[in-house]
Amino acid sequence: MWTFLLIRTARAAVVLLGLSIVVFMSVRLIPGDPALVFAGDYATPAVVAQVRERFGLDRPWVVQYAVFVRRALAGDLGASVRTGQPVLTEIAPRYARTVVLAAAATLISVLVGLPLGVLAAVRRGGWVDRASIALALLGVSAPTFVVAVLLQYVLAVRLGWLPVTGGGSLRHLVLPAVSLGVFPIAAIARLVRAGLLEVLGEDYIRTARAKGLPEAVVLVRHALRPALIPTATVVAVQFGTMLGAAVFAEAVFAWPGLGRYLVQAVSARDYPVVQAAVLAVGATYILANLAVDLLYRWLDPRIV
Amino acid sequence: MTRRSWLLLAMLLLAPLTPARSAPSGGTLTWALHVPIDRLDPPASFSLATGMVVGRNLFDRLVEHDERLNIVPGLATSWSTSRDGRTWTFRLRRGVRFHDGTPFTADAVVFNVQRALDPQLRLPAGAFAWAGVRAARKVDDFTVELVTDEPLAPLLNNIADSGLGAIVSPRAVQAARDPREFVPVGTGPFKFVRWTPDGEFVMEANRDYWGGPPRLERVVVRISPVPATRVNQLEAGEIDLITQVPLAEVGRLRGVRGVEVGIRPSTSWTYIALNNLKPPLTDVRVRRAFNYAVNKRLIVDRILFGVGEVADSPIGSAYRDHHSAKVYEYEPATARRLFEEAGWRPGPDGFRQKDGARLAATLWVPVGRFAEGTAIAQAVASFLRGVGADVRVEEIEFATYLAEARRGPGESRIEMVMAGWGTADPDTGMRLVLHSSQWPPAGNNLAFYRNPELDGLLDRARTTLDPQARRALYQRAQTLVMNDAPWLFLHERREAVAWRSAVRGVRFIPSSAGLVDIRQVSVAR
Amino acid sequence: MKRCSDRLRRPGLWSTLVRDCSGLVGLLLFAAIVAVAVIGPWTVRSDPLRVNLERAFAPPGTSGLFGADHLGRDLTARLIWGARTSLLSGAGALAIGLAAGVPIGLVAGYRRGAVDEVVMGLLEVLMAFPGILLAILAVAVLGAGRTTVVVAVGLVSVPLVARVVRGTTLALREAEYVLAARALGVGERRILWRHILPGCLSPLIVLSVLRLATTIVTVSGLGFLGLGGDPAVPEWGAMLSEGLAYLRRAPHLALLPGAAILLTVLSVNLFGDALNDALNPRLRSRTGGPPW
């Protein structure tokens, strides 16, 4: 178990390093001059040059990367080309908000998707099952931004039950989280249903029933557990995916998270922010996948 | 007793019941801006938010603007110029203190001017305010002389303009070794409390303000960049005042109870610069035709929902020397005639051509920079295509826009580009975008316009201190420019601001920075 | 896949009915959308680009079937032309993903060893961010525009395609006929092309169909974020985003393009699901890679 942990972690670290290099390199290829954005409309060429020098935008790439890594390990991710503020302070609160959003969406997806899938499997062929399949298919097909606009229109603009846009409170979190969660709800429901159906056909289930155990016990103790293993890993993967899809929920609802900020930073050629934001999300994704691997291994040691 | 004396007695008896004009009726104003404050040192920043929030409230200027851009006394109680116009003498207000307790004297003024003009320090906004001043001299504790190379007519407007000419406490400047440590200390009606760049900017009333303390006790400024969110916050009561109301919502908001909407002229305008060096735009007839081809009234009406005014001058109507020179009404027939006169005939693909060249151009619009910019650009392109000019819209990133705006005449790739401008003085309003010395990369004359007669008018107007003479010069200048059509004139921008009815006393001062002046505001609870 | 008509004679087995017929429904719906995309632009008389401010915000029914947008452009025409843009972009991105991913997967799976390790490492790094972010990054580097959007989204698909092909190749390279061919001295390229690739076709087809849904959505997503190039050109994602500003005033501006995207993706998924069940009952469904 421990060697497994070590190897997987080392591997994750290597991937993270690779990620940082890829991000760093690609970001340097972007056309346009960031020094100009920071200096602003009225700045003289002298000011622009000073900015370029201060952020080291004219040194060779290798040197820039080394400096970047050294600083990053010390907690200094540079300063935003746009506002001059430390990147860490710019992205930390936004990152937190995106993580909160993704976590909320994941929670919703489990709380809704899991029971839905179980119900559909248990009442196979019934109207619940039929409805679930149809809804799940719809959920899996609807892009996040479409769902978001629909929900915004119906629940916020027409009915006025929830705020149209904004962040900062639980009420504001509801619509974006639900919009994000639609896809995973559908995916999880489908997976749970399929997994459960497969398990319910197994011999040992028949045996358990033959032994006279109540259906609920059969379900929870014997059937659910093996069906949950792939589900657990999917949930964790979905969390990582939602970190990306959050860009759309944030755009529609103006949730002040990292996704939106990243898109803005990309337009503004704000290199330090783009680098840090992509790395932050990428690292989270890698960590989530690592956690998935470990979880999988822990839940079912047979599987490697 | 006579009637009169009864009245007098009544007034005397009732006097204690009326609130003293200077006693604050309290209240906290929560204000949501559409752009962030980028730093706390106004001479260092052209940011609208810094100027409007920090510059105007925490600091005073030697002279101030009122709502009509008249110059009124500020930290200077009177001023005069020498016979040759090259020396300004300002008599300063006595008994004024900075928020940190240091006294306001001529030393402070000299310090600020020298600081702004110091090329090592790079204070672009400050340099803009005091541009043209060669030296500042202390005559005595409350008298300052400013020496200019030539008579400098725009001086008063420039130094009155929001944050640009803010007088900062010398001690505060010296105490901050790093710009990030700078604490904004001025003489203004509000004092700095705290600022978190991503969060709030908070200021509180300065009870010892020389002009009497403001009515508000406290002001909290937040950033809310998404227009729909700002409106939601206002309607939900979370915010008391918002700037840049999305134009599509103005009509609806006016009908909402408890909300007021104010639309005011500004000194800003939006236009499309035509590269006068690139054929076919070198031909004035073509440029005029472009102007006649576009239905600006319809654009203002449908795309801006009526919040704006069709341009009748190259500068906005809030300038005191604004002159309603000419409006290019929608006359597609005139446009076609002008094209024909200039030799541009319809070609086989429907677009005009002449000597083998096509009448085509690309219209650049920077993303997100102008209200409804993309929509306006598309409408303009559509109108032009309707008269046979193959104009295509290209959205460009702001960073690219800035880069392209710096290319000189030989390398500029600009054909048509949407742009905006707005200041407090017609000199900075016209000269910096129309004088031939301001071609990029030196300045912002994106149209590469050159008209020696205009140059002469602007140069003279800059050094003419007599307001009447100056006005006459600018009148001629505006008429000249409108006839020469270096730009595709669009409209003057109007600002839409909204606040909750409980907020009273919102004023509007057109200037480089934002419009809103909250120094007289009170919030009734 | 049992025939749809068989199922109709046996009412009661709803799920299998849905499953098998749905594939047909999906295919037909998708074919209809493709038809609209291909033929539509010719049948529509109004110019989707023509601005007519007088008719701005005209509601559905008053000016054409679906009304006009904020600039008075005919929404029906824009929706139809948008179909063409979205489908072509999605298909183009898929083609790029296949064109790059298949050779990479084949080579990595066949050669194994160092080449495989390096390639897999690189792919793992690329898969270490959510696809949409990779696409945004790629668009930022290449500059916004229709072609770059297609390339960027194609790039995002490469790792998945390569991985599937690699997996199949790894299995197939040990097959008897392959071993025989190698023993006979047949060149690598020929083996890959004639012996291994055909074996990959089945999973590739399913992957392609399902992936098409993702590429269409991602392309629309980038358009939605404003990264899709010329704003005048009708594209569903961009139309949705423009319509958001007027959600109160004219909701149809946003809701119609949204519905269009939804229908298209739904039809592809229906068809792809059925195909998946038919061809690859063992293959795990694409719960790992969502349409955004």
ipTM of the complex as predicted: 0.81
Chain centroid, CA C133 distance in Å:
17
Closest CA to B401 of B440, B428, B437: B440
Residue A138 lies in a domain: yes
The helix/strand/coil state of B26 is coil
**Run of H or E residues at A232:** helix A225-253
Contacts of B303 in chain C (CB under 8 A): 53, 56, 70-71
The verdict on B38 touching A (C-beta cutoff 8 Å) is: yes
Residue A81 lies in a domain: no
Mean pLDDT (whole number) for A250-278: 82
Q: d(Cα A87, Cα A77) in Å, to the nearest integer?
A: 6
Q: Which of A192, A168, A171, A172 is nearest to A111 (CA)?
A: A192
- Does residue A178 sit within a domain? yes
Question: Does any domain span residue A121?
Answer: yes
Could C224 and A266 be called an inter-chain contact, meaning their C-beta atoms sit closer than 8 Å?
no
User: Given this model, what pLDDT does residue A226 score?
Assistant: 72
Q: Under 8 Å CB-to-CB from C12, ≥6 apart: which residues?
A: A125
Q: What is the DSSP letter of B369?
A: T
- CA-to-CA distance for C211 and C154, rounded, in angstroms? 10
CA distance C193 to C208: 19
Could you tell me what percentage of chain A is helix, strand and coil, using 3-state DSSP and rounding each to the nearest 5?
80, 0, 20
| Domain-embedded: residue A61 | no
Nearest CB neighbour to C70, from listed B252, B375, B395: B375
pLDDT at A282: 85
Minimal Cα–Cα distance from B98 to chain C, Å? 45
Flag if B395 and C245 touch (Cβ within 8 Å).
no
Q: What is the pLDDT of residues C12-32, one digit of tens each?
A: 444 554 556 777 888 888 889
B134 compared with A37, residue with greater pLDDT: B134
Give pLDDT tens digits along chain B (525 positions): 455 555 555 554 444 444 444 444 578 999 999 888 888 999 988 888 889 999 999 999 999 999 889 999 999 999 999 999 999 999 999 999 999 999 999 999 999 999 999 888 878 888 889 989 999 999 999 999 999 999 999 999 999 988 888 999 999 999 887 777 789 999 999 999 999 876 789 999 999 999 999 999 999 999 887 888 888 889 888 899 999 898 988 989 999 999 999 998 888 899 999 999 998 999 999 999 999 999 999 999 999 999 999 999 999 888 989 999 999 999 999 999 999 999 999 989 889 999 889 999 999 998 877 878 989 999 999 999 999 999 999 888 777 788 888 899 988 999 999 999 988 899 999 999 999 999 998 889 999 999 999 999 999 999 999 999 999 999 999 999 999 999 999 999 888 999 999 999 999 998 877 789 999 999 987
What is the model's pLDDT at position B464? 92
Q: Is the pLDDT of residue A40 over 70?
A: no
Residue C258 Cα, gap to closest chain B Cα (Å): 20
What residues 179-208 of chain B have any CB closer than 8 A to a CB of chain A?
180, 197-198
Q: Does B394 touch chain C (CB under 8 A)?
A: yes
The strand pairing partners of B202, in sequence order, are B194, B220
Position B107 scores a pLDDT of 94
Q: Is residue A80 in some structural domain?
A: no
Average pLDDT in chain C: 82
Question: Which chains touch A (3+ CB pairs under 8 A)?
Answer: B, C
For chain C, where are the alpha helices, taking DSSP H only? 4-8, 14-43, 75-111, 113-126, 131-142, 146-172, 176-183, 188-190, 197-224, 236-244, 252-279
- Are C249 and B378 in contact (CB < 8 Å)? no
Asked if C231 lies within 8 A of B248 by C-beta distance, the reply is: no
Contact B203, B12 (CB under 8 A): no
Instruction: Using CA coordinates, name the residue in chain C closest to A23.
Output: C137
3-state DSSP assignment of residue C63: coil
Task: For residue A56, tell me if it sits in a domain.
Answer: no
Say if the Cβ atoms of C249 and B374 lie within 8 Å: no
Q: What is the pLDDT of residue A51?
A: 65
pLDDT bin (cut points 50, 70, 90) of residue A147 is very high
For residue C155, how far is the Cα from the chain centroid?
A: 13
Q: What is the pLDDT of residue C41?
A: 85
On average, the pLDDT of chain A sits at 80
Sign of the dihedral defined by the CA atoms of residues C60, C66, C67, C71, in that order = positive
Task: Report how many domains make up chain A.
Answer: 1
Q: Give the model's pLDDT for residue C290.
A: 40
- Structure letter (DSSP) for residue B102: P
* DSSP state letters, A240-284: HHHHHHHHHHHHHHT--SHHHHHHHHHHTT-HHHHHHHHHHHHHH
Minimal C-alpha gap between C49 and chain A (Å): 24
Contact A266 C136 (CB under 8 A): yes
pLDDT given for residue B32 in this prediction: 92
Establish whether the linkage from the previous residue to B280 is cis, with ω within 30° of 0.
yes
Nearest to A281 among C129, C139, C247 (CB): C129
Q: Is residue C130 reached through a cis peptide bond, with omega within 30 degrees of 0 on the bond before it?
A: no
**Which DSSP helix (H) or strand (E) runs through B449?**
none
Asked if the C-beta of B1 comes within 8 angstroms of chain A's C-beta atoms, the answer is: no
Q: Read off the pLDDT band of A66 (50, 70, 90).
A: confident
- For residue A134, which residues of chain C lie inside 8 Å, CB to CB? 18
Residue B421 β-bridge partners: B269
B299 in contact with C, Cβ within 8 Å: yes
Q: Please give the pLDDT value at position B14.
A: 46
CATH no. for residue A294? 1.10.3720.10
Count other Cβ atoms within 10 Å, centred on residue A203: 7
Task: Tell me how far apart the alpha carbons of residues B502 and B237 are, in angstroms, rounded to a whole number.
Answer: 11
Residue C247 has pLDDT above 80, yes or no: yes
Quote the tokens at residue A144. 């996040």
Kindly report the nearest CA distance between residue B128 and chain A, in angstroms. 9
Residue in the structure block whose two tokens are 């056309």: A31
Q: 3-state DSSP helix/strand/coil percent for chain B, to nearest 5?
A: 30, 25, 45
Q: Which two tokens stand for residue B18?
A: 């009326």
C-alpha distance from A217 to closest chain C C-alpha (Å)? 26
End-to-end Cα spacing for chain A: 11
Question: What is the C-alpha to C-alpha distance for residues C230 and B392, in angstroms, rounded to an integer?
Answer: 9
pLDDT at C7: 46
To which residue do tokens 């505060």 refer?
Answer: B172
Q: Identify the closest residue of chain B to A32 by CA–CA distance.
A: B400
* Chain B residues whose beta carbon lies within 8 Å of the beta carbon of residue A93: 198
Residue of A nearest to B419 (CA): A41
Provide the pLDDT confidence category of residue A102 given band limits of 50, 70 and 90: very high
Residues B274, B497: contact at Cβ < 8 Å?
no
Distance of residue C158 Cα from the nearest chain B Cα, in angstroms: 28
- CA nearest to C59, candidates C235, C231, C255, C220: C255
Helix, strand or coil, per DSSP, at residue B90: strand
What phi and psi values does residue B267 have, to the nearest 5 degrees? -95, 10
CB pairs under 8 A between A and B: 73
Per-residue pLDDT at C283 exceeds 60: no
In the chain, the amino acid numbered B124 is: P
Backbone angles phi, psi at B7, to 5 degrees: -60, -45
Chain C residues within an 8 Å CB radius of B246: 245
Chain B residue whose CA is closest to A47: B122
pLDDT of residue B210: 93
Q: Do A268 and B398 touch (CB under 8 A)?
A: yes
* Contact status, residue A204 vs residue A256, Cβ threshold 8 Å: no
Residues in chain B: 525
Supply angle C-alpha C214, C215, C216, rounded to 5: 95
A253 close to A172: Cβ distance less than 8 angstroms? yes
- Tell me whether residue A142 is in a domain: yes
Q: Strand B241-242 vs strand B218-223: parallel, antiparallel, or unpaired?
A: unpaired
Interface with A, mutate which of B34, B161, B402, B423 (most A CBs under 10 A): B402
Mean of pLDDT values over C35-41: 88
Task: Mutate one of A27, A30, A36 to test the B interface: name it (highest B CB count within 10 A).
Answer: A36
Helix axes B284-293, B332-341, angle to 10 degrees: 160
The answer, for C170 touching chain A at a CB cutoff of 8 Å, is: no
Instruction: Give the CA-trace dihedral at A81, A86, A91, A92, to 10 degrees.
Output: 180
What pLDDT shows up at residue B17? Answer: 43
Chain C residues lying within 8 Å of A125, measured CB to CB: 12-15
Nearest Cα to A116, choosing from A176, A173, A214, A182?
A182
What domain range is A133 assigned to? 94-299
- Would you say residue C81 has pLDDT above 90? yes
Give the DSSP per-residue string, B212-244: ---S-SEEEEEE---HHHHHHHHHHTS-SEESS
C12 CB neighbours in chain A (<8 A) are 125
User: What residues of chain C lie within 8 A of the CB of B302, using their CB?
Assistant: 53-54, 56, 72
Distance between CA atoms of residues B305 and B249, nearest Å: 9
Please return the burial class of A301, using the count of CB atoms within 10 Å of its CB with bins 0-12, 13-18 and 19+: exposed
DSSP string, A153-195: IIIIIIS-SS-SS--SSHHHHHHHHHHHHHHHHHHHHHHHHHH
pLDDT at residue C82 greater than cutoff 70: yes
Do you know the residue count of chain C? Answer: 292
Residue among B47, B233, B367 whose CB faces A267 most closely: B367
Q: Is the pTM of this model over 0.90?
A: no
pLDDT at A227 over 80: no
